[in-house]
Structure 1
Amino acid sequence: MEKTCKSMSLLKLVEERASMKKKLDEQKQKQQLDSVPYLPKDCVSNILIRLPIESLQRSRFVCKPWYSIIKSPTFIRDNLHRAEKVLIFLSPVKRLSRWWDQDSDSGFPFHENPNTFSVESKVFELKSVHMLLQPLVNPTFKYAIKFMVLEDGKSTTRDYNATCMGRIRASCDGLIVVDNTLEKGELVIMNPVTRELNLLPLGTLYPSHDESYALVCCDAGGYKLVHLFRDESQFIGCEVLKIGEKSWRDIDGPSFGLIKWFGYDPVFAIGALHWVPEVDHSEYIVTMTIEDEKFHKIMLPKTSRFNDRIMEAYERLCFVTHEEMNEISIWVLGSVSEEAWTKTYTIAVGCIRDLIPLYFLRFKWELYFLDKDGSVFCFDFEDQHMKKVTTTEGCFKLANGEYTLHVNSLVSWQTIDIEE
């Protein structure tokens, strides 16, 4: 009996000590939490918005509050407004002996490393194909999707760790449109940063050299994909797809005569898309206003030559042209309705006849050029100095036509628009 009482007393003592330890631990934990300063949600968002896009992707999974902030439409919009321009391009990584890169062990087409995202592999999953495919497109290469950053006088090439077998057709707000090589004429819209991807409905099929694509953001919200193509009569037809809809809409193409060639990639500025209809000796541009989907003919201030370009700069349309042997002039068009160009600047130092304008930075007064050998030059408007951009080791050298202007963002074509 005495032993039983002693055992019960000992057990009670152990329980009391355990309970006391638990309370002490809870108090200590509470004190630690109280010592951490509280940061308002807006303050956390202001810190996160300054992180590089790669860090933001990882930061989403730190905690639920951070995930909620980074995934919010407001944060995505603000991040987009802070994003600087880059050049996105495809770099061959493998020559394909067959139409797919079959891994013999897995038995699954388009096998990639665990950290590499394959467009074709994702499309394969979306289509739920359970039989041997007989594709109409036979790609020769598998490409790595990369981008080049030009800043502080240096060029740096970075990798999305993503591959595809088709071409990049258009870019807007961080979204790109890529060929789906599993079905002729089909396109894919994706964000290479978030790796979100979806198939687009089939449109009119034409050879790639007889067509032009452009992806634009609408004032009313959402995105439109515009497709120009030359029909059998050599006139230009046009169709428009509102991303998210199931079919394309035919609209009237330009009615002011034949367009001999589509020239370079279209430029989106002042609420419209703009094409230079010929590579050399073009006297006007073809413009399509996005909201009413009407075409206009706007005369250029002078005849465009092979190394001249139109481009967007600070929410205006610019025409960068080689005036003289050692001069490059910049003309600005304020609006489609005015159709009046104003000469705003002349670069008279460090000019090279073969320099091709690439783009203006969004947040600095700098204009980048591409030389015929793949070298990049930068003109600083504040210092009035033209300098050659230093290429980092292993950096891909661009060639004319191998790049697309792009920004890295978290944008989705399904993102809910927020009113300013």
Structure 2
Amino acid sequence: MSEKACKAMSFLKLDEERASLKKKLDEQKRKQQLDSVPYLPKDCVTNILIRLPIESLPQSRFVCKPWYSIIKSPTFIRDNLHRAQKVIIFLSPVKAFLRSWYDQEPNFHENPNTFYVESKVFELKWIPVLHRPLINTSLKYAIKYMVLEDGKGIIRDYNATCMGKIRASCDGLIVLDNMLRKDELVIMNPVTRDLNLLPSGTTDLALYESFGLVYGARGYKLVHLFRDESHGQFIGCEVLQIGEKSWRVIDGPAFGLIKWFPYDPVFAIGSLHWVPEYDHSEHIVTMTIEDEKFHKIMLPKACRFNDQIMEAYERLCFVTHEEANEVTSIWMLGSMSGDAWMKTYTIAVGCIRDLIPLYFSRFKWELYLLDKDGSVFGFSFEDRKMKKFTTMKGNFMLVGASYSIHVNSLVSCQFKENDGDARYS
């Protein structure tokens, strides 16, 4: 072999040795970088994730397999629900094109980032042209919510729309009218955009009706009260165990004619509670969830306009306005065992009899109220002060509009028959 060839071989061997050494050094450096990253135990990661804003969690599931496993776990969903603050969920009108379903196939996807309830319903249950209702798709609503924090009323958007009313709310799930099929309903979680169809109930829905969604020993249960015109205008009742295929008719309240359903029912102490009339009602109508029996509970004083019943720290609360001395009294009923109402607090901060009680905070001893102009106030029982929340003008008006007290969660609405613990799966 010539001297020139030997030198070439030597240079080639030297290059290979340098490349091998560089690769080894790079691997050592990469290993040192990995070793310098502290290991976070699963419990620590869970503690971090559960403090993220609820709207970011559905996307966070797909960061990596460990995060997906944590966020989808029943324990995480349960703990997240228990930490959730109450919010006010409502519908805000949005502009849409007027289109008859008889003219063309439905197309709700004007914005690819928005979840369209009716579009999803159409995918789940294809409807033949001859059976499609003639609907006005211009009557479309954005599903939004208001959270009260740091002295502000902050409005946030689920980036979801629907054309039906919100009928009930529980544990982050809402029940909506299914506008594509008469008298059917939809249950969904607006955070996860999880959606399911519910079977038809009473075919001739009355003008005066009320829905209540609750969680019991066998899972979620939807209760429907309605004025039964065929039986002397008394109140009929049907119950749907979510996951089952049909409603059950049960005996309604036997306390005579109930004239109105002014407010959504309140769930407290294992029962649903209704105020039967707007004004001068001396009692409330109660249905115990487990045995599905109706009872009458006398109020400590006659209910007047702007008085409300509500859940407060797992007890039933009655907030009433005293006209004589312009104060607000708060009464508590701790159980269904016949305990009397107890007046636990009196608010005397000027004339607030026009304020409508909204809800009690889950984690602070505070009561939130609504003024007739749409302003929101909060009364702190610790410092005995009333504060006004700053809200965006023109974007939110609760008075005269439909709204519900809600919590944002990751609870699923995909249930199988008799699947009692499905809300955390």
TM-score over 0.5 (shorter chain) = yes
TM-superposed deviation, 1:399: 1.5
Letter in 2 for 1:283: E
Letter in 2 for 1:150: L
Equivalent residues of 2:195, 2:414 under 8 A apart: no
Q: Distance in 2 between matches of 1:303 and 1:276?
A: 11
Is residue 344 from structure 1 mapped to residue 335 from structure 2 by the alignment?
A: no
> Who is 1:228 aligned against?
225
TM-superposed deviation, 1:356: 0.8
TM-superposed deviation, 1:322: 0.7
The aligned runs of 1:10-159 (5 Å cut-off) are 12-94=13-95, 97-99=98-100, 108-129=106-127, 131=129, 134-135=132-133, 138=136, 141-159=139-157
Is residue 197 from structure 1 mapped to residue 198 from structure 2 by the alignment?
A: no
Change (3 A) 1:211 1:418: closer
What are the ranges of 5 or more consecutive residues in structure 1 without an aligned counterpart?
none
Equivalent residues of 2:96, 2:137 under 8 A apart: no
> Who is 2:418 aligned against?
none
Q: What is the SS of the residue equivalent to 2:160? A: strand
Equivalent residues of 1:53, 1:409 under 8 A apart: yes
TM-superposed deviation, 1:56: 2.2
Change (3 A) 1:133 1:89: same
Q: Distance in 2 between matches of 1:96 and 1:349?
A: 49
Q: Distance in 1 between matches of 2:204 and 2:387?
A: 42
Letter in 2 for 1:187: L
> Who is 1:310 aligned against?
309
Equivalent residues of 1:88, 1:148 under 8 A apart: yes
Is residue 324 from structure 1 mapped to residue 323 from structure 2 by the alignment?
A: yes
TM-superposed deviation, 1:263: 2.4
Q: What is the SS of the residue equivalent to 1:209? A: coil
Change (3 A) 1:99 1:282: farther
> Who is 1:278 aligned against?
277
Change (3 A) 1:108 1:252: closer
Q: What is the SS of the residue equivalent to 1:277? A: coil
TM-superposed deviation, 1:408: 0.8
Superimposed CA distance per residue, residues 102-150 of structure 1 (whole angstroms, 9 cap, x where no aligned partner): 9x9xx65212311111001111111134647631655651101000111
Change (3 A) 1:55 1:178: same
Letter in 2 for 1:237: G
TM-superposed deviation, 1:5: 6.7
Q: What is the SS of the residue equivalent to 1:68? A: helix
Superimposed CA distance per residue, residues 233-259 of structure 1 (whole angstroms, 9 cap, x where no aligned partner): 112111111111111112221122221
Q: Distance in 2 between matches of 1:418 and 1:89?
A: 23
Q: Distance in 1 between matches of 2:36 and 2:159?
A: 41
Q: What is the SS of the residue equivalent to 1:245? A: coil
Change (3 A) 1:247 1:11: farther
Q: Distance in 1 between matches of 2:101 and 2:375?
A: 34
Is residue 174 from structure 1 mapped to residue 169 from structure 2 by the alignment?
A: no
User: Normalized against structure 1, the TM-score is what?
Assistant: 0.92
Equivalent residues of 1:154, 1:392 under 8 A apart: no
Equivalent residues of 1:170, 1:404 under 8 A apart: yes
Higher mean Cα deviation, 400-409 or 193-202?
A: 400-409
Is residue 380 from structure 1 mapped to residue 377 from structure 2 by the alignment?
A: no
What are the ranges of 5 or more consecutive residues in structure 2 without an aligned counterpart?
416-420
Is residue 255 from structure 1 mapped to residue 258 from structure 2 by the alignment?
A: no
Equivalent residues of 1:101, 1:111 under 8 A apart: no
- Identity percentage over the alignment? 76
Superimposed CA distance per residue, residues 168-199 of structure 1 (whole angstroms, 9 cap, x where no aligned partner): 00000110001111011111110111111111
Equivalent residues of 2:183, 2:205 under 8 A apart: no
The aligned runs of 1:214-225 (5 Å cut-off) are 214-218=212-216, 220-225=217-222
Instruction: State the superposition RMSD in angstroms.
Output: 2.4
> Who is 1:267 aligned against?
266
Letter in 1 for 2:388: K
Q: What is the SS of the residue equivalent to 1:303? A: strand
Higher mean Cα deviation, 203-212 or 146-155?
A: 203-212
Letter in 2 for 1:88: I
Equivalent residues of 1:74, 1:418 under 8 A apart: no
Q: What is the SS of the residue equivalent to 1:328? A: strand
Equivalent residues of 2:101, 2:134 under 8 A apart: no
Q: Distance in 1 between matches of 2:399 and 2:206?
A: 19
> Who is 2:404 aligned against?
404
TM-superposed deviation, 1:274: 0.3
Q: Distance in 1 between matches of 2:227 and 2:9?
A: 95
Q: Distance in 1 between matches of 2:184 and 2:5?
A: 83
TM-superposed deviation, 1:12: 4.9
Change (3 A) 1:28 1:346: same
Equivalent residues of 2:102, 2:132 under 8 A apart: no
Letter in 1 for 2:214: V
Q: Distance in 2 between matches of 1:176 and 1:263?
A: 19
Q: Distance in 2 between matches of 1:377 and 1:64?
A: 44
Q: Distance in 1 between matches of 2:266 and 2:251?
A: 20
Q: What is the SS of the residue equivalent to 2:359? A: strand
Superimposed CA distance per residue, residues 371-412 of structure 1 (whole angstroms, 9 cap, x where no aligned partner): 112111211111111222211366412224421110111111
Equivalent residues of 1:225, 1:242 under 8 A apart: yes
User: Normalized against structure 2, the TM-score is what?
Assistant: 0.91
Q: How many residues align?
A: 415
Letter in 2 for 1:333: L
Change (3 A) 1:119 1:339: same
